[in-house]
Structure 1
């Protein structure tokens, strides 16, 4: 089967959750005999990109995965300013034309969408006109929330009708001199944007959500429940299941965070809570690149000043993941937004590392409280400090959580079979193929 992945960004320049999942899924499907290729837009323009050049396309290979990436010259966008910058996050005729040429050349049997941000909703119509079935995995809320996180500029979680606050988000995200007085007038436009993307996604035959929470949110926003299915993300073990854990707990306990250093991930909440933990009880290692959000990273460093047991380690190559998790006794996921299915939780469980997570979004689905880890109230420094202090003062509890994870099983082969089974259901004679 020839499968075309569509994603907003990809390896090697971007290695966040959606990209990591798509990367491993693509490699895994190849081991089953499928031909998988990736189409994505690269936002970091190369030096050889001429000022008068509209579009640049490149073919490359990432660990055996054929990749077709496109660079779009912003001078040839649909306009200038914050409004048009926002418009190009979901509407790009030039990319639609490039994708049409790519499909006509490659002729895939099926398309698997992982994200359309900065690509174009019209890509699905391009596929539909060629009779190519489409599966889409939902990774966040972008198809009905411009910033994909259901968070307002001040960090508050959006309520039942996020459209009312979209104008303020556009101003915060994309800049531009937008008079505050006209921001409420943006609501009808954003309502249209959501309808536009929902119409585009109506061409998807199967919508896959990695959590029940995410599935329910999309149904609440008008997406058809009969075309949605919940399938937990799958990842290869990467040797994590071979880590040998001691039957005794040594102090100081090694606590860690692995992920993006951005405010909605709540790293400042973790560091603030950890300032109350005695150094002889535990250390905290924070892994993540400071480059995407340097001001926030500087705030984190300042927050940790005077607390030598809190260490900001920076980013690491993904090949070092096993060593990083082997050196941890406890992982914290202190998110302030509705997380859906953080792959780092699966990786931690595979490595025998219990997780302390915010009681928010899909995290209570992913971390069974008292069995695989513990939960705390999101954004509440005192709540997190109390949970950490409690588990650090009771080594038996932490060892029991670790013991429970010895039976954790994340079968990547089963996940691959589940996904390829969805593909086959669309290509069977009964599906009209």
Structure 2
């Protein structure tokens, strides 16, 4: 008995998990983008598995009245949107000072950034310089690589960009010098290139950042988890009406215009228009008056097309459960759209553009169907295939399990734990892709 007591006394205590801050460019009460939702789910998942975590979101001073925290573990830094440099992504020093003060006061030892927008690259450098602080960056899109809203779409022709370079970026922005793009890239890599680790929700995005200059030895690919993943089990398809739903922001890159083109084609087939329902959920953002006019005219012209308006993310499982399929007609690469995981959680296969992160997350013929970029006729082909009970049964059977926020948090903790050995190696400074002009 004495020997056992001595063993317990000599046993080394279990290592204490560091206090974690999940830092994002917004708060879900202000913005419902995929990055904010994913970051907030991670924060909640960490707390669920017993990790002491806080959430810090950026908030414009003009919208602070809309900010709504769930508890005392959530914080905000405030910024002036008019005092932000969108090319080099620099913010006033006061933003970094606010963030550092919160992390120091709360005793944070590990900072996981989920964006740099609104915060500015100076905030990343300031946190990285805090004594004993470990830093990780989760990448959700291409803003560090692409000045065109991070969409990797050419500015004039609006076609997919296969890779950034001084010359190609200069073609998109002829008003800027090509040397500025070389400096922008160096500024980005200098700001987060020597973080302890990086996380990407898709291999596609990770590979794009490998080409950009990040060290893949420090990269982990972790799927987005959901706070409420839902139960995908649903009864067998009954009836002859098939409902296809769109969920997300109705902006110029999400391809709702392709859906409107498809609606015009459906209207030409009376039998098909009697069995198909197109339902659009989301809010219009950044659309032209011409698009809005066409959108409203299409709703009036096609009885099978409905606009359900904006939605609360807490209702998404119920709304998707009312759809046989979720359609993602995006015209940019995407990364790992949260809407895909939400659809899987609701038991709905996905019909998507067959490119980028969408193609990676939705294997064609397994858990959904692909169609060609911007091709309404090919989208209609996929919808016809989907509206067959035999095909629907195959696609439903191919839906993968959806990970919870807690499981995502466990995978993040494993990535955090792996990082120290990797981080001891000096960061490699990526070469400039082409000679400055």
TM-score normalized by structure 1? 0.84
Q: Could you list the runs of 5+ residues in structure 1 that have no partner in the other structure? A: 49-57, 78-83, 171-181
Does residue 156 of structure 1 match 2:149?
no
Cα shift readout 1:190-216 (whole Å, capped 9, x = no counterpart)? 221111011101231111111111011
CA drift at 1:291: 5.2
Seen in structure 2, the aligned counterparts of structure 1 residues 291 and 378 have a Cα distance that, compared at 3 Å, is closer
Q: Which residue of 1 aligns with 2:199?
A: 208
Structure 1 distance, partners of 2:347, 2:37, is: 21
Distance 2:72 2:379 in 1: 43
Contact 2:249 2:285 in 1 (8 A): no
In the other structure, the counterpart of 1:53 is none
Question: Against the structure 1 CA distance between its residues 101 and 259, is the aligned structure 2 distance closer, same or farther, given a 3 Å change threshold?
Answer: same
SS in 1 for 2:213: coil
Larger radius of gyration, structure 1 or 2? 2
Change (3 A) 1:270 1:344: same
What is the root-mean-square deviation in Å for CA atoms of aligned residues? 2.7
Shift of 1:9: 1.3
Correspondence for 1:52:
none
Deviation string 1:297-322 (CA, Å, 9 cap, x unpaired) is 44322344310101111111122112
Q: How does 1:253-402 map to 2 (within 5 A)?
A: 253-277=242-266, 278-290=272-284, 293=287, 295=289, 296-392=291-387, 394-402=388-396
Comparing 414-423 and 136-145, the one that deviates more? 414-423
The change in CA–CA distance for 1:186 and 1:310 in structure 2 (over 3 A counts) is: same
SS in 2 for 1:24: helix
Q: Does the C-alpha gap of structure 1 residues 73 and 379 become closer, same or farther in structure 2, counting only changes over 3 Å?
A: closer
Secondary structure at the aligned position of 1:374 is classed as: strand
Q: How many residues align?
A: 399
2:78 counterpart residue number: 70
Which whole-Å deviations, capped at 9, do the CAs of 1:198-248 have from their partners, x for residues lacking one? 11012311111111110111111111121112112122344x21x552223
Partner Cα separation in structure 2 for residue 389 and residue 134 of structure 1 = 48
Partner of 1:410: 403
Counterpart of 2:123 in structure 1 is: 123
- 1:8–1:41 Cα contact (<8 Å) kept: yes
Q: Of 408, 417, 424, which residue of structure 2 is paired with 1:424?
A: 417
SS at match of 1:45: helix
Bigger RCO of structures 1 and 2 (CA < 8 A, at least 6 apart): 2
Closer, same or farther: CA 190–413 of 1 in aligned 2, 3 Å: same
Secondary structure at 2:314 match in 1 = helix
Which deviates more from structure 2 when the two are superposed, residues 196-205 or residues 408-417? Answer: 408-417
Given that 2:46 and 2:406 are in contact with CA atoms closer than 8 Å, whether structure 1 keeps it comes out as: no
- Other-structure match for 1:188: 179
Secondary structure in structure 2 of the residue aligned to 1:123: helix
* Corresponding residue number in structure 1 for 2:47: 30
Q: 2:20, 2:108 within 8 Å by CA — same for their partners in 1?
A: yes
2:108 maps to 1:108? yes
CA contact (8 A) 1:251 1:280 kept: no
Tell me: CA distance 1:359–1:225, structure 2 relative to 1, closer, same or farther (3 Å).
same
Paired residues of 2:111 and 2:136 also in contact (CA < 8 A)? yes
- Structure 2 unpaired stretches of 5+: 1-17, 267-271, 426-437
Distance 1:86 1:128, change over 3 A: closer
1:225-264 equivalent positions in 2, closer than 5 A: 225-238=216-229, 240-241=230-231, 244-264=233-253
Q: Name the CA distance, whole Å, in 1 between partners of 2:292 and 2:309.
A: 10
Measure the CA separation in 1 of the matches of 2:104 and 2:364. Answer: 50
CA distance in 1 between counterparts of 2:227 and 2:242 reads 27
Partners of 1:25 and 1:47 in 2: CA distance = 23
